[in-house]
């Protein structure tokens, strides 16, 4: 998928061409109160294209490794075929390490960290409703070789069969553009606040400096008198 | 047991009980009595901690009964084991026999340092053996030796100073025409002669010479200071040496004798009476200063140092702060967009009060004015972000950027500080600000996030500085508050004293 140039970033051609927006996410189903204690949930962790879940990532990703919690038998799971997803049963949340092995450079995998979520946010009851947690990440190919570039282009049009995700497909959260905008707004607000704090601290600091100078002079006068 | 053992054990500490009365007999006869060894060996055995040099002789048959229920000290008083009444002297180490008497003989000698020379004879006592040896060396009979007068052995240390002497002709030629310096009294030939005589007589001790000057001077009315004497003497010797060097090319360098050395030194170091006078006057003045003045001066110097130190500290702090703000606020970025370039001015005006190169004073002055800036900033915020972040991005080395393929989120994971504590603080602050440590990693957000983290670092640093300043102020205030109490107490005491004096 080709990422359209965002209005605020500089849209020079080679920069945008080499970016792939991916989503790593997890969907968890509660298996009800009668499920065994160690297998209360069935969850699936996956990597998909951001705009279109059917995008064929295997054109530029050779394989994906999901590194699970150590308590799982055989915690490093390798998925070589698209769609890149892994389904497991479990009872606890942890951080899944997702390793992407790019075709162009399979010796240097790229790591993403996905916080697996099984439970709805605090204060909500456990329900049958699946818990979806998705995060956007951007895979950057800097100065790719021509064949890699061709593969990237091909992936914009190549599509996987529409039933490959099964019943997960309707649960996906789209291209997460709203989240992105929200995050940008948050960062900018935070910068504003930090800047105000810096300014306030600085004024305070200057006031203190003046105060200190006065106190010092006072002390000196007293000493001399 | 050998005859030596009682003596030996006597010499050791802690064996007092081992001494015997029998050893008195030993003292008299010089032979160990048969009784003397038995109690000694018993004592050694009974007092195992005595540290005796020899192990107890276990082979002996006449071992006495074992000691029971009796203190060692008490036991030592019984029988023949009583302590000695007088200290014992080892017989073998007695002083040499009194037969080796030392004889002294009265012998004449002469001291060449005396003006009368050998004619003036002195006598002293000499050890006889020494005299005999000397006589034997000179192969003299005792009678002859008694008559011969020896030379005083320390005469070789009696050195006589030799000064440069001038003839009448030399004086009239070189010295009479010497220019008179300043307002000083001119020297006559008689005076100069006297000076040289005194110099030889008192070995150039000018202080002594000045002291005797009024007695020996041909014109006693005319006072001469030490410096004047020195000046005259050194100048005369110098001009004489110069004159002789002209007539005799190799003069002061031809030999190593003392006089020529003296002349060489005179030629190399001319005497400067003005300087000497000034130097002595200054020294005198310093020595005469009252102690209170010295103390006051010391205090002033100390205060000055204190002030300088404070100033240095302040400057260092100022530089540090400037560096800090420069780090927070980016250098002019290179952005290909006209829009960004246009916004750059706004950035610098709003973001950096006073600008980078501005002095602290102007920064401080304008910082108050920049309080009204926020709406302005908010309007241009997105531009500011992109402009500033581009600069930061270009400046900061990135962990992942050298890789051919990477994910943007990895940049957010790269720590911003070496210190784990600071890193934790940054992360915590990010959480508090509602950003979290991992927002969506698009290019734009990544860069803004980077800048944000840098700014947070600055804020943390500033807060640290602020805290330090507060501590400092508290310390000074405490000192100020405690000082007046002391001051009052002192003045009260003084007042009381004055009162009682009245």
Q: What is the CATH number of the domain that holds A132?
A: 2.60.40.1970
How much is the pLDDT for B65? 60
Strands laid side by side in the B405-407 sheet:
A85-90, A41-49, A19-30, A131-141, B405-407
Query: Is residue B371, in this structure, part of any structural domain at all?
Result: no
Distance CA B155, CA A29 (A): 121
Both tokens assigned to A222:
């007293």
A73–chain B nearest CA distance, Å: 28
Residue B88 pLDDT = 66
Of A75, A96, A104, A88, nearest in space to A31 by CA: A88
Q: What is the Cα–Cα distance from A144 to A59, expressed in whole angstroms?
A: 14
Q: How would residue B208 be classed by pLDDT, with cut points 50, 70 and 90? A: very high
A14 inside 8 A of chain B by CB: no
B 391-430 residues inside an 8 A Cβ radius of A: 401, 403-410, 413, 429-430
Q: How many CA atoms does the CB half-sphere of B58 hold within 13 Å?
A: 1
SS3 of residue B201 by DSSP? helix
Q: How far apart are the C-alpha atoms of B252 and A49, rounded to whole Å?
A: 105
Q: Contact B367/A206, CB-based, under 8 Å?
A: yes
pLDDT band at B230 (very low <50, low <70, confident <90, very high): very high
Interface mutation vs chain A, best among B354, B361, B405, B451, most A CBs within 10 Å: B405
B485 or B80: which leads in pLDDT: B80
Domain count, chain A: 1
pLDDT of residue B92: 58
- Residue-level pLDDT at B187: 87
The answer to whether B469 touches A202, Cβ cutoff 8 Å, is no
SS3 B183: coil
In sequence order, what are the beta bridge partners of A65?
A78, A99
* Distance of alpha carbon B31 from alpha carbon B39, whole angstroms: 16
Compute the distance between CA of residue B180 and CA of residue B55 in angstroms, rounded to an integer: 95
Q: Is the pLDDT of residue B369 over 50?
A: no
Smallest CA–CA separation between B234 and chain A, in Å?
A: 52
Spatial CB neighbours of B226, under 8 Å, sequence gap ≥ 6: B206, B207, B209, B210
pLDDT score for B221: 81
How far apart are alpha carbons A185 and B369 in whole angstroms? 27
Which residue among B273, B301, B327 closes a domain?
A: B327
The Cα–Cα gap between B26 and B20 comes to: 10
B194 and B305 together in one domain = no
Bond preceding residue A181 cis, omega within 30 of 0: no
Residue at a domain's end among B235, B264, B287: B287
Residue of B nearest to A210 (CA): B473
Using a pLDDT cut of 70, give the percent of chain B over it.
57
Which of B287, B315, B339 is a domain's end point?
A: B287
Which chain A residues touch B433 with a CB distance below 8 Å? 186, 189-190, 193-194
B451 within a domain of the structure (yes/no): yes
Q: CATH code at B236?
A: 1.10.10.60
The DSSP code sequence of B399-436 is SSTTSSEEETHHHHHS-S-S-HHHHHHHHHHHHHTT--
Closest CA to A213 of B316, B307, B368, B321: B307
Contacts with B430 from chain A: Cβ below 8 Å: 190
DSSP output for B113-145: TSTTGGGSEEEEEEEHHHHHHHHHHTT--HHHH
Same domain, residue pair B187 and B273: yes
pLDDT for the residue numbered B206: 94
Say what the pLDDT of residue A182 is: 87
Mean pLDDT over each residue of chain B, to the nearest integer: 69
In this predicted model, what pLDDT tens digit does every residue of B91-138 receive, in sequence order?
655 555 555 667 788 888 888 888 887 788 888 888 776 666 766 766
User: Does B197 fall in a domain?
Assistant: yes
Please check whether residues B189 and B280 belong to one and the same domain.
yes
What's the DSSP call for residue A175?
Answer: T
Given an 8 Å threshold on Cβ–Cβ distance, is A195 in contact with B477? no
Find the radius of gyration of the CA atoms of chain A: 25
Instruction: At B424, list the tokens.
Output: 């934790």
Q: Does B151 touch chain A (CB under 8 A)?
A: no
Asked if A116 and A68 touch (Cβ cutoff 8 Å), the reply is no
- Cα separation, B377 vs B390, in Å, equals 17
CB < 8 Å from B in window 25-64 of A: none
Give the integer Cα–Cα distance in Å for A73 and B63: 88
The burial class, CB within 10 Å (0-12 / 13-18 / 19+), for B139 is exposed
Q: Does A203 touch chain B (CB under 8 A)?
A: yes
Residue B154 dihedral angles phi and psi, to the nearest 5° = -95, 10
Domain match, B178 and B261 both: yes
Beta bridge partners of A132: A27
The count of domains in chain B is 3
| Residue B496 dihedral angles phi and psi, to the nearest 5° | -65, -45
Q: How confident is the model at residue B488 (pLDDT cuts 50, 70, 90)?
A: low
- Chain A contacts in chain B segment 305-344 (CB below 8 A): 310, 328, 335-337
Domain for residue B456, yes or no? Answer: yes
Q: Does B367 touch chain A (CB under 8 A)?
A: yes
Lowest-confidence segment of A34-38, A66-70, B66-70, B452-456 by average pLDDT: B66-70
A95 touches chain B (CB under 8 A): no
Long-range contacts from B181-190, C-beta under 8 angstroms, 24+ separation: B181/B231, B181/B273, B184/B228, B185/B222, B187/B232, B188/B218, B188/B219, B190/B218, B190/B219
Q: How far is A115 from chain B (nearest CA, A)?
A: 11
Q: Does B483 sit within 8 Å of A187, measured CB to CB?
A: no
Judge if B242 and B300 occupy the same domain. Answer: no
* Same domain, yes or no: B420 and B458: yes
Are the Cβ atoms of B466 and A194 closer than 8 angstroms? no
Of chain A, the end-to-end C-alpha distance in Å amounts to 81
Q: What is the pTM of this model?
A: 0.46
**B47 phi, psi to nearest 5 deg:** -115, 85
Helices (H), B329-418: 338-351, 360-369, 374-379, 381-395, 409-413
Which residues in A lie closer than 8 A to residue B483 (C-beta atoms)?
Answer: 219, 222-223
Distance between CA atoms of residues B166 and B236, nearest Å? 9
Q: Are B425 and A194 in contact (CB under 8 A)?
A: no
How, if at all, do strands B150-151 and B104-110 pair?
parallel
- Which residues of chain A fall short of a pLDDT of 50? 1-16
B480 contact A CB<8A:
yes
Domain assignment present for residue B386? The answer is no
Sign, CA dihedral B42-B48-B53-B57, equals positive
Residues B463 and B406 sit within 8 Å (Cβ to Cβ)? no
Do B314 and B421 share a domain, yes or no? Answer: no
Give B270-289 pLDDT, tens digit per residue: 999 999 999 999 999 999 99
Residues B235, B310: one domain?
no
Mean pLDDT calculated for residue range B335-345: 38
Answer whether B382 sits within 8 Å of A136, measured CB to CB. Answer: no
Which residue's structure tokens are 């246009």?
B342
Most confident by average pLDDT, B201-205, B333-337, B387-391: B201-205
Domain residues for B457?
415-497
Domain that holds residue A122: 2-224
Q: Where are the alpha helices (DSSP H) in chain A?
A: 13-17, 146-157, 177-224
Confidence bin at B211 (pLDDT 50/70/90): very high
User: Is there a domain that residue B235 lies in?
Assistant: yes
Element (H, E) at B281: helix B273-288
């Amino acid at each position: 998928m080709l990422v359209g140039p965002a209005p605020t970033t500089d849209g020079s051609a080679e920069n945008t061409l080499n970016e792939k927006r991916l989503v790593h996410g997890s969907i968890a189903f509660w298996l009800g109160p009668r499920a065994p204690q160690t297998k209360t949930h069935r969850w699936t962790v996956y990597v998909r294209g951001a705009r279109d879940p059917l995008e064929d990532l295997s054109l530029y990703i050779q394989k994906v490794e999901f590194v699970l919690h150590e308590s799982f038998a055989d915690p490093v799971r390798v998925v070589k075929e698209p769609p890149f997803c892994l389904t497991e049963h479990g009872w606890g949340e942890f951080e899944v390490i997702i390793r992407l092995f790019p075709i162009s450079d399979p010796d240097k995998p790229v790591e993403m960290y996905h916080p697996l979520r099984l439970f709805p946010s605090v204060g909500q009851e456990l329900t049958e409703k699946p818990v979806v947690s998705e995060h956007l990440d951007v895979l950057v190919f800097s100065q790719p070789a021509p064949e890699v570039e061709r593969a990237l282009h091909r992936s914009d049009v190549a599509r996987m069969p529409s039933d490959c995700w099964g019943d997960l497909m309707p649960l996906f959260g789209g291209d997460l553009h709203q989240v992105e905008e929200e995050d940008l707004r948050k960062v900018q607000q935070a910068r504003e606040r930090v800047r105000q704090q810096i300014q306030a601290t600085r004024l305070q600091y200057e006031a203190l400096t003046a105060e200190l100078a006065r106190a010092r002079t006072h002390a000196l006068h007293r000493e001399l008198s | 047991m050998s005859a030596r053992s009682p003596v030996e054990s006597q010499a050791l500490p802690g064996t007092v009980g081992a001494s015997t009365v029998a050893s008195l007999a030993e003292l008299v006869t010089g032979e160990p009595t048969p009784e003397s060894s038995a109690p000694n060996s018993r004592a050694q055995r009974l007092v195992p901690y005595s540290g005796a040099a020899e192990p107890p002789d276990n082979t002996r048959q006449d071992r006495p009964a074992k000691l029971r229920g009796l203190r060692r000290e008490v036991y030592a008083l019984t029988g023949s084991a009583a302590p000695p009444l007088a200290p014992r002297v080892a017989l073998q180490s007695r002083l040499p026999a009194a037969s080796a008497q030392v004889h002294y003989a009265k012998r004449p000698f002469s001291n060449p340092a005396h003006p009368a020379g050998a004619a003036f004879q002195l006598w002293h006592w000499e050890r006889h053996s020494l005299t005999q040896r000397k006589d034997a060396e000179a192969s003299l009979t005792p009678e002859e030796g008694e008559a011969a007068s020896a030379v005083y052995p320390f005469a070789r240390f009696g050195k006589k100073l030799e000064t440069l002497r001038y003839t009448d002709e030399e004086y009239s030629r070189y010295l009479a025409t010497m220019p008179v310096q300043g307002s000083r009294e001119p020297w006559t030939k008689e005076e100069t002669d006297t000076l040289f005589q005194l110099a030889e007589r008192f070995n150039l001790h000018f202080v002594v010479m000045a002291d005797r000057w009024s007695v020996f001077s041909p014109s006693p009315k005319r006072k001469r200071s030490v410096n004047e004497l020195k000046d005259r003497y050194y100048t005369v010797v110098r001009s004489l040496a110069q004159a002789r060097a002209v007539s005799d090319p190799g003069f002061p360098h031809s030999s190593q004798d003392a006089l020529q050395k003296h002349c060489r030194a005179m030629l190399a170091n001319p005497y400067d009476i003005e300087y000497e006078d000034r130097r002595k006057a200054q020294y005198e003045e310093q020595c005469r200063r009252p102690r209170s003045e010295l103390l006051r001066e010391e205090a002033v110097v100390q205060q000055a140092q204190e002030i300088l130190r404070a100033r240095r500290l302040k400057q260092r702090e100022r530089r540090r702060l400037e560096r800090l703000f420069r780090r927070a606020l980016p250098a002019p970025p290179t952005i290909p967009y006209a829009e960004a370039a246009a916004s750059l001015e706004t950035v610098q005006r709003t973001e950096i009060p006073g600008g980078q190169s501005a002095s602290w004073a102007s920064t401080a002055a304008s910082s108050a004015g920049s309080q009204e800036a926020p709406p302005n900033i908010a309007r241009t915020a997105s531009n500011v972000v992109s402009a500033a972040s581009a600069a930061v991005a270009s400046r900061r080395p990135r962990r992942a950027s050298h890789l051919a393929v990477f994910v943007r989120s990895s940049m957010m994971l790269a720590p911003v500080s070496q210190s784990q504590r600071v890193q934790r603080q940054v992360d915590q602050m990010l959480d508090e600000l509602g950003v979290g440590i991992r927002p969506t990693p698009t290019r734009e957000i990544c860069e803004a996030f980077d800048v944000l983290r840098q700014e947070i670092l600055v804020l943390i640093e500033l807060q640290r500085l602020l805290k330090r300043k507060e501590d400092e102020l508290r310390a000074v205030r405490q000192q100020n508050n405690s000082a007046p109490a002391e001051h009052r107490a002192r003045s009260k005491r003084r007042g009381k004293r004055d009162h009682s004096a009245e």
